[in-house]
Amino acid sequence: MTRDNSILAENISAKHFALGPLDGRYSQIGEKLAPYFSEYALVKNRVKVEVYWLKFLLENVNGSDILDAFDIVRLPEIMAIYIDFSDDSFMRIKEIESVTNHDVKSVELFVAEKLKEMGMDSLVSFVHIGCTSEDITNPSYANMISTALSEVWIPVAEQLIDKISEIAINHANTAMLAHTHGQPATPTTVGKEMAVYSYRLKKSLENIKSIKACAKFNGATGNYAAISVAFPNENWPVLAKRFIEDYLGLKFNPVTTQIESHDYICHILDGIRHFNNVLRDFDLDMWLYISMEYFKQIAVKTEVGSSTMPHKVNPIRFENSEANIKIGNGICAVLSDELPRSRMQRDLSDSSLQRNIGLAFGYSVQAIEQTIGGLKKVAVNTEKISSDLDSKWEVLAEPIQTVLRKYGIPDAYNQLKELTRGKNISKEAIQEFIKSLDVISDEDKATLLALTPSNYTGLAAEIVEDELKK
């Protein structure tokens, strides 16, 4: 960095020098997720697992004079090592790591150091006993992922679903020309098309919520070998399950190598990727609806749409969402493809990969929030929608030919194709054709004559009512 740049840096926020947007332009997202996925968060969670493991041993394991002799009244002092974890704690661990060059061992030594400060030297040998580094790390990531999901990602996903559902309910009866293959199709309602996405996103979210974060705690190659030698009279699979589920609040994985298989992480990431893909589909549709002027963008006086075209209001939030989905899904895919693989009982590729899980969450949250922001700045353009519908009376060819089929007219489809295909048909032409149909009853004729592009929406409103107002 040049001298000028050094001077500049003193007066500019660090986020403007960030390498990536989640720490820079989108730093508000990075700040939301940093408590869950940062190096600080990982270290703090490792301290938690080490401390809770010692607590578990003191409360559940027999066969040790040292454990039996401990005054359980002093247990809160041990728990405070985690509960009172601070910046100073983190920096001390990093200082130890600079000597050991081992990130988990440094946590173990830190906890031991704290015990010595409290005069609990006798317990030092029980810190990390029977553990491999992965026994500390995999529950840490499980806790980080599960809490980030429940406290950040799921709430923002629910906000999106709620916003789309709100539009669906408010416009359940707002008739709109549908498009298949980009061409005018039979009418639908704005609300029903919004309900499609609300329903899809809700189901995707339910799938993610059903996935339980898993953890293992069974030693170097998953066989409880060392701890079973030291405490042969204990049922270690039962105890490990109790520790993981009752003390850490995770789901126990009983059969592993040295590492937890990471399958649940893949399921979560695949779930997020699917949610993102549905959202991207929604973003694309909203972009098209805005382009067609079915939705109006609410202009903000101080904002600029185009640097050269003063009239423009661009759908930038939906475009931003789409772009961040592409990045986030790429990260999700790499992690999901690679995390389940390990050379025999373990290698360290997963260690480096897992450090990027927060990025997958971050780009997804950025995308979701951008779409929410976009929806807050649009309004249904009923005037344009009505105008388009009123110019497409040919869409009534479908109900007419369907009624004719009821009367056994074999070429009903061809009759209506001849009348309407590739043509803009007036209201008068459609109604004259209906009046000429002598083969149908007066009741059916009256029903067809009462149809308009605006009221030919089938059960669209009822679908919204049934699915979103339950």
Which residues lie below 8 Å from residue 8, measured CB to CB, with a gap of 6+? none
Exposure pattern of 87-100 as b/e (b: 16+ CB <10 Å)? eebbebbeebbeee
Question: Of 13, 125, 150, 306, which residue is the catalytic one?
Answer: 306
C-alpha distances out from residue 34 to 42, 45, 50, 136, 225, Å: 10, 13, 22, 20, 36
Q: Answer yes or no: are the C-beta atoms of 240 and 217 closer than 8 Å.
A: yes
- Helix count (H) and strand count (E) of the chain? 22, 6
Q: Around Cβ 462, how many Cβ atoms within 10 Å?
A: 12
Residue 210 CA: distances (Å) to CA of 123, 204, 268, 333 = 39, 10, 9, 20
Are residues 174 and 191 in contact, defined by beta-carbon separation less than 8 angstroms?
yes
Specify the pairing of strand 295-297 against strand 378-380: antiparallel
Active site residue 181: yes
Measure the CA angle with vertex 159, ends 177 and 168; round to 5°: 25
Bridge partners, 252 (sequence order): 215
Whether 89 is catalytic is no
From 213, 207, 214, select the one nearest 157 (Cα to Cα). 207
**Exposure string over 237-251, b if 16+ CB within 10 A, otherwise e:** eebbbebbeebbebb
Token look-up 């493809």 returns 337
d(CA 205, CA 201): 6
Mind telling me the catalytic residues?
A: 181, 306
